[in-house]
Structure 1
């Protein structure tokens, strides 16, 4: 089996095979913490980091791990990396860590991470495996941030509130009020709002894919079908 190119991995992770919009994996954290941009970005970066490092680690040990204990070994690697991320967040972004709560430890059971570890990293070299993890993680993080930004905007009328929880005092003034005197739309920041906004994003992606397919089909040259006359002769006795 030929190895995919880095361009293919990038396109798959960000668009064609996006774990959130196409594979629909990791929906629990995707919908649970995407009520603001800072929460979505914090969890997205943590997930992307664990995904990249776990793919690299799994690719490095794929030749020495027995197939009978393959999945438990992969889970142990992911759990160890998740614990490291959890300790780092406790040390440097403790308030955000408290807000995200159980969703940080649950990175261990994220279907995106285990799926890429078993489906891709265990079959390819470390360079391709780590790059695949980076692109899949970035694609997941991107959807998280877009979802969190839209819900925050429609729910509060502002963007980038409380970014100091992730970036420190330098981000204290990053909040942008898009709609002054906005009364707020409570549904957008409640769990049902997450389903609605995610459904709209999936529908938008499918419509874009259909439009691109139609344009590509229209650009293809039309090959004329040459009709051939068949002359039939018969003998009547």
Structure 2
């Protein structure tokens, strides 16, 4: 009997990261986390910060739940998960207020709503409760990155076409569309920064992905 351990970044483990970023993205395949896409994607900076926050919360929550999974009574597992996620979200919120106050104000109550993010609770229930810590961390990184990727794509197009700018952490608001375009008559599309447009952009992304991957089309 072989005593060789599975490599930390084996093909199976790497799939835990690459799958949710690609064809198994939690937003485009399961339509989870849509509230964040509607709320924080009018500008790029809040979308990036929200993505990093969700990844951090999901990684630590998955790790903690995986470490204590055998000692959690089945009847109260959801309560335990909520308590852990809530504590992590409060910590993230306080860090944002201390080091990125302006962004924290833009995100407003939506940082607190990470507690009820379907992606986080879904991964805790479906994966961390039944797997070891390292795969749970990789699963969290993959799903968090997949979630963040969609938010950043949506925010990129909404801010670019809605405001003509891109706002990046540490760099501030960058004018992307040259002034000469406005002199020629170009006008920012105000509809892009309204919440319905976030849903439309997400819908377009879902349509593109499913048209390229026939396995995702429901029979």
Confirm or deny a common fold (TM above 0.5). Answer: yes
Residue from 13, 18, 25 that aligns with 1:6: 13
Q: Which protein shows a greater Rg?
A: 1
1:13-44 residue CA offsets vs partner (Å, 9 max, x unmatched)? 10122111111111111211111111111111
1:62-84, Cα deviation, whole Å (9 max, x unpaired): 01111011110011000011011
Deviations 1:46-73 (A, max 9, x none): 0111011100011001011110111100
Q: Equivalent residue for 2:74?
A: 67
2:199 aligned residue: 195
- Distance in 2 (CA, whole Å) between partners of 1:206 and 1:23 is 12
Which of 197, 208, 212 is the matching residue for 1:204? 208
Q: CA deviation at 1:178?
A: 3.0
Are the counterparts in 2 of residues 156 and 183 from structure 1 also a CA contact under 8 Å?
A: no
Q: CA deviation at 1:157?
A: 2.2
SS at match of 2:29: coil
Q: 2:118 aligns with which of 93, 111, 114?
A: 111
How many residues align structurally? 202
Partner Cα separation in structure 1 for residue 11 and residue 81 of structure 2: 23
1:147 is aligned, of 121, 141, 154, to 154
The equivalent of 1:232 in structure 2 is none
**Matches of 1:27 and 1:84 in 2, distance apart?**
23
| Number of the residue aligned with 2:176 | 177
RMSD: 1.9
Name the one with the larger helix percent.
Answer: 2
How far apart, in 1, do the equivalents of 2:11 and 2:128 lie? 12
Residues 127-151 of structure 1, C-alpha deviation per residue, up to 9 Å, x if partnerless?
0001100110011001100000011
CA distance in 2, matches of 1:90, 1:7: 34
After superposition, give the CA deviation of every residue in 1:102-122 in whole Å (9 maximum; x if it has no partner).
100110110100100010011
CA distance in 1, matches of 2:38, 2:157: 13
Quote how far apart the aligned CAs of 1:4 are.
Answer: 8.3
Gaps of 5+ in 1: 212-237
- Alignment partner for residue 127 of structure 1, among 110, 126, 134? 134
In the TM superposition, 1:153-168 aligns within 5 A as 153-158=160-165, 160-161=166-167, 163=168, 166-167=169-170
Q: Aligned with 2:31: secondary structure?
A: coil
* Structure of higher RCO (CA pairs closer than 8 Å, 6+ residues apart): 2
* Correspondences of 1:22-61 after superposition (within 5 Å): 22-61=29-68
